[in-house]
Structures are given as structure tokens and as C-alpha cells.
Amino acid sequence: MFKHLSTLSHHAAWRRQLELLLDSTGEGIYGIDLRGRCVFINKAGAEMLGYSADEVLGRNMHYLMHHSYANRDLMPVCDCQIFKAFQNNKGCRVDNEVLWRRDGTCFHAEYASYPIFEGEEVVGAVVTFNDITERVEAQNIKQAAQVELERRVEERTAQLQRAHDRMRRLSSHLTTVREDERTRIARELHDDLGARLTALDLELKALAYRIGEDPALQRRLHTMTDLTEGAMDSLRSILSDLRPGVLDHLGLWAALEHLLQEFQSRTGIVCRWMLAPTLETVRLSKRSETSLYRIVQEALHNVQKHAKATEVQVRITQARQAVHFDIHDNGRGFAAKPTHGGFGLMGIEERAWDMGAHCSIESEPGQGVSIRLRLPGVLSN
């Protein structure tokens, strides 16, 4: 029946049945012959384009409603997907182009074009199309909202990152100030109070030599001497906590070894110290040595307070230009890093970050805690 579409389309009975069939749908539907001329169009399609059906029949549909892209650049006929349906004998479905109305405006359209066969011969194409402007605008609004949301998230993330960096710089500054203040207080205590207690101890011993054999006075002087020596021991302990002199005079390794010996003597927890021979004569920067000493000090404090361990191992090795610190105890461990209570582990991580070290804290229940520090590039070739 499609051998001569242009003739058949004007047959009154045929057109009436076709109109009743096609007008029952809300989609635009039209047919074209091999020259691209409209041979039928339903009412919905004609109204969508701003025409009556009779005004469209016989006209080339590409030049009528598919002649340009959305930016008004002309679309060559060879690029028209609608015509390619019968040129290539293959249907297509497109939803990213526009169709043009009679008044020169365009609308976003979704269309499908399929070839019409009569036997083995292609005699034209049938096209269905819909105005999807509302859907496209809704998608555009959604995409714009998504872009705006992502922009705000990025902006907020950048603000939070800047705030986080400021807080870390402030934390680093406060740590430096605190260490400097500890050093100053330790020096003043040593120079002033230490000297006074030493002088008092010498005076008491000289007085004891002069007063003779009076038992009562001798007992009083011995008591005073013991109190003075106890005060000096307490002062030495305070000075060691504030700023261990061995750290400044003999370096980090000697200071850590002394710290572990003192910790073992005070708590009864066995401390094992292992230092790579290649590092025995190595000195790090003053800031790094102070931070590492405080990290080990804090780790030992956590062991004493929380771990219920019987042994602590501190192992320091070298890997090329990096120094590796491994601190491990055999205590009860934990399933997840504590989020409440003290800030010991957080302080260790912050100190490690401040000196450019990589820090990892690992633990499992009953397996103790392992603190690993990696200081890259601190050793020369």
C-alpha cells in the first residue's frame, strides 16, 4: 500500500482511517517519503509545530522543523538522523536535539525514526516525537543545583581544611612555646633553686661538723640534711620531666635509654632497647629529637596507665635516608582507638605530623599496641 505514498496519502478513505488512528495518541507522528516530504501527520504533531495538518503535508520535514541545531547553526541534511533512518535502513532514537516551530522558536525534543518497508524495499520513514522541554529544564535545574551543591561542598571543605591547617599550625606553635617555656623554667630552677639547695646542703654538713657530739642536735641536722637531699632529688626529677639535661648534652639515644631505665626501675615493666649501630653517632634536629623524646615519653605513660603490660620494646632502625621508630607493648590492647578520655594518642599523632613523620597506631585486644613512626629524608647520603 506504500508503493506510491504521496498518492495514497490523498485518498480520502485512507486518510480518514489514518487520521483517526494517529490522532488518538498525544505523541507527534508523521511519515515521510524517500524525498523527505510529509505524507501524513497527526493532529498532535502538527499543533506541536504550530501548523495545521494540511499545511504540513507535502513539505520537506527537515527544512520545516529540523533545519538547525539549538545554537541556530544550520544542520546539513546529511547529518539529519531522521533521514538516516531510511537511508541506512536502521532506526534511531534521539533525545538531545531540538525541533523548530512555525514561529521560529525551538523546543527540546525526543524523537524516533524508523524506516517503512514494502516487501524488501524501503519506501519512507515514520517519525514519533515529543516535546521534552519541561524534562530538560528540570534536568538542567537539577544539574545546576548539583553543581551549586558541589561548589558549596568544595568551598566548605576548603574552609574546613584551612581551619584544620590553622589549628595544626597553632598546635605546633603551642608545642614549641611549651617546650621553650619548659626549658626556661628548668634552667631557672636549676640555676636558682638548685644552687640554693646545694648551698643549704653544704651549710648543714658544715654545721654538723662544728656542733660536736650533741646527739639531739646531730639528729636534727641529719633530719634537715635528709630533707634537703630529698628536695634535691625531687628537683632533679622535676627538671628531668621539664627538660632532660641528657637530651641536650648527650643526644636523643642516650636520653631515651635513660628514660627507659628510669621507667623500668620505677614501674617494674621490662624495657627492651634496640638501636641500629649505624645510628649510634647520628644526631637529628633539636626539634625532632625533642618531639621523638616526648612521643616515647607519652607512649610509656600510656603503657603505665592503661596497658597492664609487663614488657615494652623500643626499636630504632634505618632504611636508606629514613629512621624508623617502633614502640610495642604486650598489654591488653584495644579493638578501636579510644575516642574519649585522654589525648595521649592524639598528641603522639600531632607531634609526628608536626615534624613530618608518618605515624600509625595499631592494636588488637590482647595483642598490645604498636606505634610506628617513619621519618623520611632525615639522614644524609
DSSP string, 87-116: HTT--EEEEEEEEE-TTS-EEEEEEEEEEE
Please tell me whether residue 32 adopts helix, strand or coil conformation: strand
Instruction: Tell me whether strands 38-41 and 92-100 are parallel, antiparallel or unpaired.
Output: unpaired
Sheet holding 121-131, edge to edge: 38-41, 28-32, 121-131, 106-118, 92-100
Listed in order, strand segments (DSSP E) in 238-303 are 270-275
Question: How many Å separate Cα 251 from the centre of its chain?
Answer: 38
pLDDT at res. 10: 53
List own/partner pairs for 235-244 with CB under 8 A and 24 or more apart. 235/189, 235/190, 235/193, 235/194, 235/197, 238/189, 239/186, 239/189, 239/190, 239/194, 242/182, 242/183, 242/185, 242/186, 242/189, 243/179, 243/182, 243/183, 243/186, 243/187, 244/293
Nearest C-alpha neighbor of 47 from the set 69, 30, 68: 30
Question: What's the Cα-to-Cα distance from 67 to each of 62, 64, 192, rounded to whole Å?
Answer: 6, 7, 97
Among residues 350, 341, 335, the alpha carbon closest in space to that of 302 is found at 341
Strand duo 311-319 + 270-275: pairing: parallel
Is the pTM here over 0.95, yes or no?
A: no
Report pLDDT for 340: 47
Structural domain boundaries in the chain: 5-131, 133-243, 247-375
Q: What is the pLDDT of residue 2?
A: 46
HSE, side-chain direction, 13 A CA sphere, residue 62: 18
Question: What is the gyration radius of the CA atoms in the chain, in angstroms?
Answer: 45
Q: What cell was used for 324?
A: 624508623
- pLDDT tens, position by position, for the chain (381 residues)? 444 544 545 556 666 666 677 777 789 999 999 999 999 899 899 999 999 989 999 999 999 999 999 999 999 988 898 888 888 888 899 999 999 999 999 999 999 999 988 888 888 999 999 999 999 999 999 999 999 999 999 999 999 998 888 887 887 787 778 877 887 887 888 788 888 888 888 888 888 777 767 788 878 888 888 888 888 888 888 877 777 878 888 889 999 999 999 899 999 999 999 999 989 888 888 888 888 998 999 999 999 988 889 999 999 998 888 899 999 999 888 876 655 445 678 888 888 888 888 999 988 888 889 999 998 877 765
Give the sheet arrangement for strand 322-329, strand by strand: 270-275, 311-319, 322-329, 369-375, 358-363
CATH number corresponding to 247-375: 3.30.565.10
Q: Which residues contact 9 (CB under 8 A, 6 or more apart)?
A: 15, 18, 31, 39, 40, 57
Count of alpha carbons within 13 angstroms of residue 288, beta-carbon side: 17
* 247-375 has the same fold as 5-131: no
CATH code for residues 5-131: 3.30.450.20
Cβ neighbors of 105 (< 8 A, separation 6 or more) are none
Q: Which residues contact 256 (CB under 8 A, 6 or more apart)?
A: 273, 292, 293, 296, 314
The full DSSP string for 347-360 is HHHHHHHHTT-EEE
